[in-house]
């Protein structure tokens, strides 16, 4: 059985680390290279680095930042933010990233997922979907607003187009540390044959157990690692205590 991964998410707004709450409020947390060094010493399974302003500012994530992180840190790195062309992806991979995270471009041009997967391999392509609840229904959330698109059908389409991994975020739980949005997980897992990373709402290590029991391959988090005493190893120890295989050094 494959080990469950615990993945820190580092959001940047160009050159500084930020943490959002429901994709709105922001708190500045300093230099991404410094944050990455800390995670590198904590033996994390993987890190996701996302520039949340890149697409709306019509630019790509800063390549120097990626190069600095990968030159000093030896954890797998998935990178997203403003990647809109094959050359953008190639530049990020050449700087040492292992995967790319694609969100906005997939909404604008779904066939780009197929093209990118064909050129770089599905294992490099992580499709990202931000999901928000409105009334009794869930919708795709993009560019600060709800999109009239069923997120679960969209997830299925992204898989069919060639994404090798899925990264879903609950917008309503983002930064709140109020437990995971299990309804989203229950609706997503049956759609997928590829690994699923869930993100949003983790408040303590125990919160990661239910998503994994429901079929999630990896659990991502940010606030719990920025603002509490819990570490990725704390989370993996809790998962192991519930019989879930994880990679622990000690």
- Count of CB atoms situated within 10 Å of the CB of 27: 13
pLDDT in tens, 147-188: 989 999 999 999 999 999 999 999 999 999 999 999 999 999
- What's the whole-model pTM score? 0.96
| C-alpha separations of 80 from 11, 77, 233 in Å | 10, 10, 25
Q: Is 130 a catalytic residue?
A: yes
Q: Measured between alpha carbons, how far is residue 195 from residues 44, 164, 215 in Å?
A: 18, 7, 9
What is the structure's pLDDT at 42?
86
Which listed residue (62, 88, 130, 207) is catalytic? 130
pLDDT digits (tens, 9 = 90+) for 192-245: 999 999 999 999 999 999 999 999 999 999 999 999 999 999 999 999 999 999
* Pair of tokens at residue 88: 């953008």
Please, what are the domains in the chain?
5-241 (3.20.20.70)
């Amino acid at each position: 059985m494959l080990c469950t991964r615990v993945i820190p998410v580092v959001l940047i707004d160009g050159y500084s680390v930020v943490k959002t709450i429901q994709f709105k409020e922001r708190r500045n947390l300093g230099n991404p290279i410094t944050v990455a060094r800390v995670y590198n010493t904590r033996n994390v399974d993987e890190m996701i680095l996302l520039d949340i302003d890149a697409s709306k500012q019509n630019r790509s994530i800063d390549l120097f930042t990626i190069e600095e992180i990968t030159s000093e840190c030896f954890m797998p790195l998935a990178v997203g933010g403003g990647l809109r062309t094959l050359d953008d992806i190639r530049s990020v991979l050449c700087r040492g990233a292992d995967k790319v995270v694609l969100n906005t471009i997939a909404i604008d041009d779904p066939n780009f997922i197929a093209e990118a997967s064909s050129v770089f391999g599905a294992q490099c392509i992580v499709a990202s979907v931000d999901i928000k609840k409105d009334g009794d229904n869930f919708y795709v959330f993009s560019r600060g607003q709800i999109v009239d698109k069923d997120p679960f059908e969209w997830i299925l389409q992204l898989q069919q187009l060639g994404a090798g991994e899925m990264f879903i975020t609950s917008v309503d739980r983002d930064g709140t540390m109020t437990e995971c949005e299990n309804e989203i997980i229950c609706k997503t897992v049956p759609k997928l044959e590829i690994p699923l990373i869930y993100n949003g709402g983790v408040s303590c290590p125990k919160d990661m157990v239910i998503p994994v029991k429901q079929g999630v391959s990896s659990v991502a988090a940010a606030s719990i690692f920025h603002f509490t005493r819990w570490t990725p190893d704390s989370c993996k120890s809790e998962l192991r205590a519930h019989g879930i295989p994880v990679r622990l050094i000690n």
